[in-house]
């Protein structure tokens, strides 16, 4: 069953990884988790990760990028690049397996390159991973069987599957870079926890009159220090982060409902239609009205009917 437009996102930022082989000491780890206890935490680490989402839809956060995801969503993240996927769930729609991922270190890759010059072919791919790389669904469908085989193997067998996947991705020309900036390893665990609290609070309150002072108080910081801390931690200013969330939600409602643009403006947290329109054009390159018209054309099918939106 498809998620409803008004189904809330799960915004509990709690890390729950389900490691399929916790004692595995090989070069490439396979991990998986479900969406009944989803991986809902803004976090980063020193390893590369290749994520394949196989169930649920929702919001993805890669560095300073905010977008949507759905099944057969494939993303490669690099070291220290913060990331998170938040599923939109119906109560009667559990997903015991949502995310399949392969985790590996940069040191392992460098050791391989030292003895196998052919490994140089993945240099470009790994460089792109510093800002996050999203691949087309067709590529995800190609590599999904390899992921499932990796979940049932270990040792050299898994390594062969891993190299096959990397080789395929390194040849792919159709991809999207996500974050506008890469991230340095500046955060310790305590700082990451504070970022989690801040992002969690923003996700719960961005549709209301949220201020920087509100969030700073929530994490026990003075506003000026929090502003610098948030920019350093996420690569984006607080107000830009909030506005991106609001505009992203507005796009969903423009496409998925017939609500008036004015109503959507206030529902997503803006208190001024002129400011909403200005921010929307800045991020999307067109007005909300034009966005809705283009989206309607995109989803039109011969003989279909496009409901008329409410007039403003």
Q: What is the pLDDT of residues 97-127, one digit of tens each?
A: 899 999 999 999 999 999 998 898 999 999 9
* Cβ–Cβ under 8 Å, residues 57 and 87: yes
The pTM of this model reads 0.64
* Cβ–Cβ under 8 Å, residues 102 and 50: yes
Give residue 34's pLDDT: 84
How do residues 174-207 score in pLDDT, each as one tens digit?
Answer: 999 998 766 655 556 677 778 878 888 888 888 8
Give residue 306's pLDDT: 42
Task: In whole angstroms, give the CA distance from residue 59 to residue 84.
Answer: 8
Give residue 273's pLDDT: 94
Q: CA angle, 261 as apex, 260 and 263 as ends, to 5°?
A: 65
DSSP 252-266: HHHHH----HHHHHH
Give residue 24's pLDDT: 53
Highest mean pLDDT of the ranges 12-21, 43-52, 76-85, 166-175? 166-175
Please state the rounded mean pLDDT for residues 282-311. 64
Query: Is 238 or 1 the better-scoring residue by pLDDT?
Result: 238
How far are the Cα atoms of 3, 63, 79, 80, 284 from residue 184, in angstroms, in the given order? 36, 11, 9, 6, 28
Please state the rounded mean pLDDT for residues 231-248. 86
How do residues 261-295 score in pLDDT, each as one tens digit?
Answer: 999 999 999 998 999 999 999 888 889 998 888 76
pLDDT at 44 over 50: yes
């Amino acid at each position: 069953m498809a998620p409803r437009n008004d189904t809330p996102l799960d915004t509990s930022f709690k890390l729950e990884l389900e490691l399929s082989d916790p004692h595995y000491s090989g070069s490439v780890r396979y991990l998986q988790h479900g969406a009944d206890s989803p991986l809902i935490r803004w976090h980063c680490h020193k390893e590369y990760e290749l994520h394949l989402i196989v169930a649920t839809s929702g919001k993805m956060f890669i560095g300073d990028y905010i977008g949507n995801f759905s099944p057969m969503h494939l993303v490669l993240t690099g070291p220290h690049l913060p990331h998170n996927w938040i599923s939109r769930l119906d109560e009667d729609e559990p997903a015991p397996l949502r995310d399949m991922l392969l985790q590996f270190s940069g040191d392992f890759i460098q050791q391989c390159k030292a003895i196998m010059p052919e490994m140089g072919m993945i240099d470009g791919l790994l460089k792109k991973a510093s800002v996050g790389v999203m691949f087309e669904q067709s590529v995800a469908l190609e590599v999904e069987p390899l992921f499932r085989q990796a979940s049932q193997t270990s040792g050299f067998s898994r390594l062969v599957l891993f190299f096959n996947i990397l080789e395929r991705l390194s040849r792919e020309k159709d991809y999207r870079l996500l974050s506008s900036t890469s991230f340095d390893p500046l955060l310790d665990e305590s700082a990451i926890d504070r970022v989690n609290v801040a992002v969690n609070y923003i996700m719960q309150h961005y549709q209301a009159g949220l201020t920087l002072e509100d969030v700073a108080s929530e994490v026990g910081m003075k506003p000026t220090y929090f502003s610098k801390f948030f920019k350093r931690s996420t690569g984006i200013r607080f107000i830009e982060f909030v506005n991106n969330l609001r505009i992203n939600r507005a796009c969903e409602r423009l496409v998925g409902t017939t609500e008036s643009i004015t109503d959507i403006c206030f529902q997503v947290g803006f208190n001024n239609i002129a400011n909403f329109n200005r921010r929307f054009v800045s991020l999307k390159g067109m007005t909300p009205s034009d966005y809705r018209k283009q989206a309607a054309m995109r989803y039109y099918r011969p003989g279909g009917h496009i409901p008329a939106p409410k007039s403003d």
